[in-house]
Structure 1
Amino acid sequence: MQQLDLLILGAGWTSTFLIPLCQSRNISFAATTRDGRKVAGASTTPWSFNPDESATAEKNQFSQLPLAKNILITFPLTGKGQSKTVVEGYRRAQGNKADTARFVQFGSSGIWQIPQQTIWVSRRSPYNTESPRAIAEDELLGLGGAVLNLAGLWGGERQPKNWVGRVAKSKDDVKSKKSLHMVHGQDVARAVLAALKDWDKAKGQRWMVTDGFVYDWWALMAGWADVKAESEGVKDEEPSDQARWVLELMNEERVWALPRSMEALGRCYFGREFWDHFGLVPLKARI
């Protein structure tokens, strides 16, 4: 059996960027989806993870999957035992050649959304160790894998300006909005391949992946004042409610200009470290 470079477990939105990048770099890959649909024009294997299945059987849920040097887990693993099931189950099903298989898991930067001692938060900052996702991430790290904790994802059909009406329905909603951290799907794809290429740096580590910016929700809402007019193709439309509320709040809270200071934003992710370690620069920084 030919060993592939990469197996993507759960080819969703991020894979619409990762698959074309693999193709352009001549990286052999396979991918799974629940229904076997095509993703970015590539065929996938119908497969879904069963966290309740024992990983000890020689024939298990991973037996139908191809042999690969690297396995990317894109779907959320939660609680104790799931990461172990994936790693040990895959290795047992694939035999001796899979003993050195390397596992990367997508995690969420939300694990750091707890009270911090400083406004700056890095991958080494305290995190919510009771979070089911953090528990699964810690387990994978203990098994020698790597975790990429992704900031908010954007790119393609995922455009942050279209989220404003959902996340801020009232002036109070706007008032509560502070910092925002994002990363483009293309840079997520580059981050995955960089971690696999330089595995000695990546393994056993939790990495925070952002585009290096700390966005101010107020500045974004004010900058997207015409989002309704733009979407409806009209001119001379009134600014959005969110933009009006931002200006009112600036007056009330004596904010002279946007963006607000880092101190005002409260939680700021140190998004440079990953790129520094792997010698890269984000291609799609700044939404």
Structure 2
Amino acid sequence: LVWSYNFTHQRVAPNVRYLQLGSTGIFQIEQKTTWVDRHSDYNKENARAIAEDELMSMGGCVLNLAGLWGGERQPKSWVGRVATTKDQVRSKKSLHLVHGEDVARAILAIFDKWEKNKASGTRWMLTDGQVYCWWSLFVGWAREGKHVDEEPSKQSQWVYELMEEEGVKALPRDMETLGRCYDSRDFWKTFGLTPLRSRI
């Protein structure tokens, strides 16, 4: 697509900039350390990663987004889909998010500072700077309604059972236990921004 555009628009092509929105999912492989950043290993066989690498080789920029939220996309509404059993709750470790407003700001900053920050041919990771513990979120969302006498959600009850079983004394769990922790400070520092919508 990029090659075709450049070939058919040779007069303007040198000034065209390409940005692809990707996912931090490409980093969900066995890593050497707990902390993962934009320079960490990623799944080079992933179809998205292959396309991203090709775009970068042609001077494009890639922005790998953590879980997108905002508006209708509320993480609390994902619970019924991702944690329907105690075993699913047991397997939940870290969660990384970024709000749509901050994604929009990031996109504008990339194009505004393309030359200064050498965006061409680069990959960036974008999160809100938080590493969320799924168990903490389940407990925080224990109350589904507004009645004083209602029971906590089953996910919350399972978390407390698991804390007892696994010797977890308090939440959130430590970073090593959470496993994969994303570090996206590089983007915010390079482009002179800080997240507006950090914490859910």
Whether TM exceeds 0.5 here: the answer is yes
Matched, 1:261 2:174: yes
Give the direction of change, closer, same or farther, for the CA distance of 1:236–1:95 in structure 2 (3 Å limit): farther
**Highest relative contact order (Cα 8 Å, sep 6+), 1 or 2?**
2
Which residue does the alignment assign to 1:246?
Answer: 159
Which residue does the alignment assign to 1:154?
Answer: 69
Matched, 1:184 2:99: yes
Which residue does the alignment assign to 1:270?
Answer: 183
Which residue does the alignment assign to 2:81?
Answer: 166
Which residue does the alignment assign to 1:229?
Answer: 145
Q: For 1:43-192, list aligned pairs within 5 A.
A: 85=1, 87-192=2-107
Q: For each residue in 1:162-185, what CA deviation from the matched residue of structure 2 results, as whole angstroms up to 9, or x when unmatched?
A: 111110000000000000000000
Pick from 114, 118, 121: which aligns with 1:199?
A: 114
Tell me how far apart the structure 2 counterparts of residues 236 and 156 of structure 1 sit (CA, whole Å): 30
Which residue does the alignment assign to 2:192?
Answer: 279
What is the CA-CA distance between 1:90 and the residue it aligns to?
Answer: 2.4
What is the CA-CA distance between 1:149 and the residue it aligns to?
Answer: 0.2
What is the total number of aligned residue pairs between the two structures?
198
Matched, 1:208 2:121: no
- Name the TM-score, length of structure 1 as normaliser: 0.67
Q: Which amino acid aligns with 1:282?
A: P
The alignment partner of 2:15 has SS state of: coil
Unaligned 5+ residue runs, structure 1?
Answer: 1-84
What is the CA-CA distance between 1:264 and the residue it aligns to?
Answer: 0.4
User: Based on CA coordinates, which of the two structures has the bigger radius of gyration?
Assistant: 1
Q: For each residue in 1:135-181, what CA deviation from the matched residue of structure 2 results, as whole angstroms up to 9, or x when unmatched?
A: 00000000001000000000011000111111000000000000000
What is the CA-CA distance between 1:235 and the residue it aligns to?
Answer: 4.6
Tell me how far apart the structure 2 counterparts of residues 247 and 223 of structure 1 sit (CA, whole Å): 12
- Name the TM-score, length of structure 2 as normaliser: 0.96
Asked if structure 2 preserves the Cα contact closer than 8 Å seen for 1:213 and 1:271, the reply is no
Q: Which amino acid aligns with 1:215?
A: Y
